[in-house]
Structure 1
């Protein structure tokens, strides 16, 4: 009888928590340097802060997984229709929550700032003072509630959409737009790649800090997996693992900029 009860508990545990899984979880990673960087020499063909954090969290769950670098639009399409299991480094939005099951524990938070090339441009943090400026954004990206709301309300005189962060940076440097919103580290990483970081003028401190998450396709019904990953991420925040990874990748913001 005791043996039977033990067996039942084990079976229930496997059903509830998905310990045994035949196929690896497939997580897509849209390139977003330095958080996600395509690198054929790296494990999974991709590296970066978000990749390291998610890979360690998945290892702690004991579940098989793989990470695939994909363009942003393609990755979102595949996770939305359930062709892959999850997506790394995504902001929470109400419309996204309809098809994405977000972890409750953040990977880290992005420091979203406005950037210009005009060194005479000053800004005190009131987004209304940027009215009438032309702005560039990446198609399909979110920049957090404050910037997203300003874009939705038509605050800016002109909004130019680009297909990648690299194109966005080129648009700013070439003068096609006056401003771009971007995570602080991402902006400088992209500008450094084209030797133009000295041209970037971050307008004061970040507009806001926006949490970035790992999220799973709702069509894949992976709530139990999400909960296990959350436990791993919570543990990693507590033991300093995530802070250590962030320190290696993210630069200190100059408050005097």
Structure 2
């Protein structure tokens, strides 16, 4: 016991590195997929490629969005994959560059003729969203004009699609990157009815409750740059059908 205490005092970073690095997300392929999937998501694979050679063990967990945010705030999770920089996360540690970027779009059934053209176009439209999500400033603002139908729990987009096909809602909101992957993976018949003007920047961000979070954010940024130079980043992205930005 005394030896362990001395090691913890002399080598605090090494002691941290021996602990599992819990990363959480709700499922939204191709960024973060099922934890049991051989392809768990490209940001998950990037995190493993960066942190595991440094001695960390990635413990990737899929949980509902609200729980993932709570776990990150409390420090029960080291990081949350795929979040926006928002005022409520001002104390989180973000890497310099985003790990994903995508517009937010409205998707309808193939036979629909409705088009998203700003706030007034959403009047009387039943739009499916995921509880607790922020879709960026533009879309969050205009959704106030729609009849929003929220779902909770895991696989919110798939549940929204089921409501869409059953004609219980008129459209669903989702990141274009996710919807395109879903169409590719399941041959879903979706119609893009219009998107936000700007793409959102989404990050693997780290807990405000951990003293090493700024260090982890720097490690992620520097590690991604190394992966880019070696060509490993390109390989990871291409395995998910994504071109390196």
What is the root-mean-square deviation of aligned Cα atoms in Å?
A: 2.8
Alignment equivalent of 1:57, drawn from 37, 50, 54: 50
Shift of residue 237, structure 1, vs aligned partner: 4.1
When the two structures are superposed, what TM-score results if normalisation uses the length of structure 2? Answer: 0.79
Match of 1:5 in 2: none
Match of 1:10 in 2: none
Deviations 1:54-103 (A, max 9, x none): 2112235x1313222222222221111111211122222221334x2222
**Equivalent pairs, count:** 227
Match of 1:73 in 2: 66
Which structure's CA Rg is the greater one?
A: 1
Supply the distance in 1 between the matched residues of 2:230 and 2:121 (Cα, whole angstroms). 41
CA contact (8 A) 1:30 1:75 kept: yes
Counterpart check, 1:175 vs 2:167: yes
Match of 2:6 in 1: none
What aligned pairs does 1:130-141 form with structure 2 within 5 A after superposition? 130-132=121-123, 133-141=125-133
CA contact (8 A) 1:29 1:88 kept: yes
1:196–1:224 Cα change, 3 Å? closer
Alignment equivalent of 1:91, drawn from 68, 77, 84: 84
Shift of residue 136, structure 1, vs aligned partner: 1.0
Matched position secondary structure for 1:197: coil
Shift of residue 139, structure 1, vs aligned partner: 0.6
Deviations 1:103-142 (A, max 9, x none): 222112123211111534253x642352312211001112
Match of 2:150 in 1: 161
1:79–1:166 Cα change, 3 Å? same
Gaps in structure 1 of 5+ consecutive residues: 1-13, 253-257
Shift of residue 250, structure 1, vs aligned partner: 3.9
CA contact (8 A) 2:50 2:224 kept: yes
What aligned pairs does 1:89-238 form with structure 2 within 5 A after superposition? 89-98=82-91, 100-117=92-109, 119-123=111-115, 126-132=117-123, 133-151=125-143, 154-156=144-146, 158-163=147-152, 164-190=156-182, 197-198=188-189, 200-204=190-194, 207-222=197-212, 223-238=214-229
Gaps in structure 2 of 5+ consecutive residues: 1-10
1:237–1:177 Cα change, 3 Å? farther
